[in-house]
């Protein structure tokens, strides 16, 4: 049955899903990497496609921006469409100098300031981490793709434009590699729904300043990241 946010029919999604934030990046990934891609949902302009890669069914759908939007799509994909492995392929902002624009980051954990912390129980701060299976597969695949790949913690924030100051230096001191807006939410859903999740990001700009990608470059910055995601799910 279609949901309030996804117009696809049961069976329209593959168990494996790539999840960019941007609907146009979803379209580009579908057109570039999927064989026989067909549009299965376009509610609110959130485009979702299903096709095959090397004969294996694969879907790609946008999450929109931020944990509230992502949590709607991932929860419905898992509960209503039987999705079991979700790899976010997003853009991120680099934090330390050695993580450069154009590099790729595999998020081995995600710190967060998100409201999802209000769901914690018994005074226990849950860790937001990918499934070990997908993390291990991505780390093995990292050596066979072109481009610089880093593995470590990211920061998932509710605030693209934060009124706070000083927190990036704090996070840099903790070895945090990048800032983005969804990984912690994806990992929290993976934990609660017992599905496998992972976040891979392409560095589109840098907290230390310097050149950053344009909107079009962010839409198209997929090569190494998607190849890594496909190798992870193979
Ligand atoms: O490029 P996507 O996947 O949307 O990811 C990043 O870009 C958006 C902010 O520009 C946020 O969603 C952030 O997480
Ligand atoms: O969420 C994001 C994504 C890219 N760059 C940032 O600074 N934040």
Q: Can you state the angle between helices 67-81 and 183-193, rounded to 10 degrees?
A: 30
Q: Is the CB of 182 under 6 A from ligand 2?
A: no
CA 203 to centroid of ligand 2, rounded, Å = 8
The contacts of residue 98 (CB under 8 Å, 6+ apart) are 150
What is the pLDDT at residue 215? 87
pTM confidence score: 0.97
CATH code, 16-233: 3.40.50.1580
What is the three-class DSSP state of 40? Answer: strand
Could you identify the residue written with the tokens 């999705």?
Answer: 83
DSSP 83-111: --EEEEEEEEEE-STTS-TT-EEEEEEEE
Token reading at 209: 């300043």
Minimal-distance CA residue to ligand 1 atom 1: 91
Q: Is the CB of 91 under 6 A from ligand 1?
A: yes
Minimal-distance CA residue to ligand 2 atom 7: 93
Helices (H), 82-214: 132-141, 167-173, 183-193
What is the pLDDT at residue 195? 98
Instruction: Give the model confidence (pLDDT) of 60-95 as tens digits.
Output: 999 999 999 999 999 999 999 999 999 999 999 999
Q: Provide the residue ranges of all domains of the chain, joining segments of one domain with +.
A: 16-233
CA dist list (Å): 99 to 29, 50, 198, 226: 24, 33, 19, 18
CA 154 to centroid of ligand 2, rounded, Å = 11
Closest ligand, as measured to the CA of 201: 1
CA 160 to centroid of ligand 2, rounded, Å = 6
Active-site entry in 42, 113, 158, 205: 205
Active site residue 205: yes
Q: End-to-end CA distance of the chain: give it in Å, rounded.
A: 29
Instruction: Give the model confidence (pLDDT) of 106-144 as tens digits.
Output: 999 999 999 999 999 999 999 999 999 999 999 999 998
């Amino acid at each position: 049955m279609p949901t309030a946010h996804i117009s696809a029919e049961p069976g329209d999604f593959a168990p494996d899903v790539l999840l960019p934030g941007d609907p146009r990046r979803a379209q580009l990934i579908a057109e570039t990497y999927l064989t026989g891609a067909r549009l299965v949902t376009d509610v609110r302009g959130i485009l979702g496609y299903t096709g095959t890669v090397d004969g294996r069914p694969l879907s790609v759908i946008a999450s929109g921006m931020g944990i509230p939007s992502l949590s709607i799509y991932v929860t419905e994909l898992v509960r209503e469409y039987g999705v079991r492995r979700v790899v976010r392929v997003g853009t991120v902002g680099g934090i330390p100098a050695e993580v450069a624009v154009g590099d790729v980051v595999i998020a081995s954990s995600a710190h967060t300031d998100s409201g999802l912390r209000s769901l914690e129980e018994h005074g226990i701060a849950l860790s937001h981490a990918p499934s070990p299976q997908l993390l291990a597969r991505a780390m093995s695949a990292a050596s066979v793709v072109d481009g610089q790949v880093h593995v470590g913690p990211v920061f998932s924030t509710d605030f693209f434009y934060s009124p706070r100051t000083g927190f990036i230096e704090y996070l840099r001191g903790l070895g945090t590699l990048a800032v983005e807006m969804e990984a912690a939410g994806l990992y929290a859903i993976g934990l609660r729904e017992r599905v496998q999740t992972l976040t891979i990001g392409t560095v589109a700009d840098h907290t230390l300043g310097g050149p950053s990608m344009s909107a079009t470059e962010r839409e198209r910055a997929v090569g190494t990241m998607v190849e890594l995601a496909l190798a992870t799910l193979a």
